[in-house]
Amino acid sequence: MGNGYRVMTISPRYDQYKDAWDTHVLLQLKIGDRIETVCFFHCYKRGVDRVFVDHPMFLEKAALEAPRILNLYNNKYFSGPYGEDVVFIANDWHTALLPCYLKTKYKSSKINWMKGGILESDRVVTVSPYYAQELVSGIDKGVELDNIIHKTGIIGIVNGMDVQEWNPSTDKYIDIKYNATIVMAAKRLLKEALQAEVGLPVDANISLIRFIGRLEKQKGPDILAAAISKFIRENVQIVVFGTGKKYMEKQLEQLEIIYPDKARRVAKFNVPLAHMIIAGFDFMLLPSRFEPCGLIQLHAMRYGLLTMTEIDS
């Protein structure tokens, strides 16, 4: 990495990371009266040490040991262990134990691990400056931790995307590459291909609208379902991508029955389809009740979509 920093990500070892090699480093962890053995796999991609913990139960403790015990030889600039001078970023609620393991051991049987993680961290960061403001705005947005976060302070750093992967001029998943000069002509052709893919009438003059997200209260699919009837009679088509709460899935499936030439719900999702979606649509709907940052919005701007967001409280 540039600027004298090394970066390591640590996650469970899933089957899809087959290019990671076994470091042959074993870590013995005492859990109760048992000794468990954890091993590490590693690969080096785009300037980042990607470490995978090969044990189904003990990611947190193993993650703390990885920078200390792994000898990683990647390039002419960096080699050997990371050492003691490292910064841990505990990303999301399920990693809140990490700062607790680092600084103290709690004895109480009733622990708010998120609160403990916040209090024991040196810095609290989140995925956008606006979301940082929201988290200290009250009990609802701060999920009853707003006072704690207000005391410790919080910094919002805008979420980032891989600009090499998400680049319409080089995207390997779309048939027609484009830039700002030819975006209008290219997107018409990509739209027609996408309409055919999901079984809608093919017409480049129809505005194609998409919703993508988990079908749960935060993302507002119920708001979307109620609003569709108000604009569906216009010269538009809408495609909803996502799975989640069963009653929300059924609610959106009904739209396809009521408006067979206008609406589709697509449950399947994969990387090539994600790129086709972002390249072929005109508008993106985000009826979120709250939206911390949103990689979807960043992708949309990169590919020339218009984003319509309605934050509903």
- Whether 174 is covered by a domain: the verdict is no
Query: Pick from 121, 156, 191: which residue ends a domain?
Result: 156
Query: Are residue 42 and residue 85 in the same domain, yes or no?
Result: yes
pLDDT band (50, 70, 90) for residue 5: confident
- Whether 161 is covered by a domain: the verdict is no
pTM of the prediction?
0.64
Does the pLDDT value for residue 312 go beyond 90? no
Higher-confidence residue of 88 and 189: namely 189
Query: Are residue 132 and residue 63 in the same domain, yes or no?
Result: yes
Query: Are residue 223 and residue 108 in the same domain, yes or no?
Result: no
Query: Are residue 247 and residue 152 in the same domain, yes or no?
Result: no
Residue 227: closest CA among 152, 308, 281, 154: 308
Residue 281: closest CA among 256, 308, 260, 259: 308
Does the pLDDT value for residue 255 go beyond 60? yes
- Whether 192 is covered by a domain: the verdict is yes
Does the pLDDT value for residue 165 go beyond 70? yes
pLDDT band (50, 70, 90) for residue 178: very high
Query: Are residue 105 and residue 197 in the same domain, yes or no?
Result: no
In which order are the strands placed within the sheet that holds 21-31? 8-12, 48-54, 34-45, 21-31
Which residue segment(s) compose the domain that 112 sits in? 8-156
Q: Are 239 and 198 in contact (CB under 8 A)?
A: yes
Q: What percent of the chain has pLDDT over 70?
A: 89
Residue entry with tokens 């893919």: 197
Q: Are 43 and 50 in contact (CB under 8 A)?
A: yes
Q: In the structure encoding, which two tokens stand for residue 247, read together?
A: 């009653």
- Whether 177 is covered by a domain: the verdict is no
- Whether 97 is covered by a domain: the verdict is yes
Of the ranges 72-76, 201-205, 263-267, the best mean pLDDT one: 201-205
Query: Are residue 28 and residue 132 in the same domain, yes or no?
Result: yes
User: How many domains does one find in the chain?
Assistant: 2
Does the pLDDT value for residue 225 go beyond 90? no
Cα–Cα dist 77/47, whole Å: 11
Query: Are residue 227 and residue 304 in the same domain, yes or no?
Result: yes
pLDDT tens, 7-62?
Answer: 888 888 766 566 777 788 888 888 778 888 888 888 888 888 888 888 766 555 67
- Whether 17 is covered by a domain: the verdict is yes
Query: Are residue 142 and residue 239 in the same domain, yes or no?
Result: no
Query: Are residue 28 and residue 88 in the same domain, yes or no?
Result: yes
pLDDT tens, 105-126?
Answer: 545 446 677 888 898 899 999 9
pLDDT band (50, 70, 90) for residue 311: very low
Cα–Cα dist 119/84, whole Å: 21
Does the pLDDT value for residue 214 go beyond 80? yes
Query: Are residue 21 and residue 152 in the same domain, yes or no?
Result: yes
Of the ranges 60-69, 100-109, 168-177, 301-310, the best mean pLDDT one: 168-177
Handedness of CA 12, 17, 23, 26 (dihedral sign): positive
pLDDT band (50, 70, 90) for residue 153: very high
Query: Are residue 18 and residue 150 in the same domain, yes or no?
Result: yes
Q: Are 284 and 309 in contact (CB under 8 A)?
A: no
- Whether 102 is covered by a domain: the verdict is yes
Q: Are 215 and 206 in contact (CB under 8 A)?
A: no
CATH number at residue 238: 3.40.50.2000
Cα–Cα dist 54/13, whole Å: 5
pLDDT of 238 reads 92
Query: Are residue 220 and residue 98 in the same domain, yes or no?
Result: no
- Whether 266 is covered by a domain: the verdict is yes
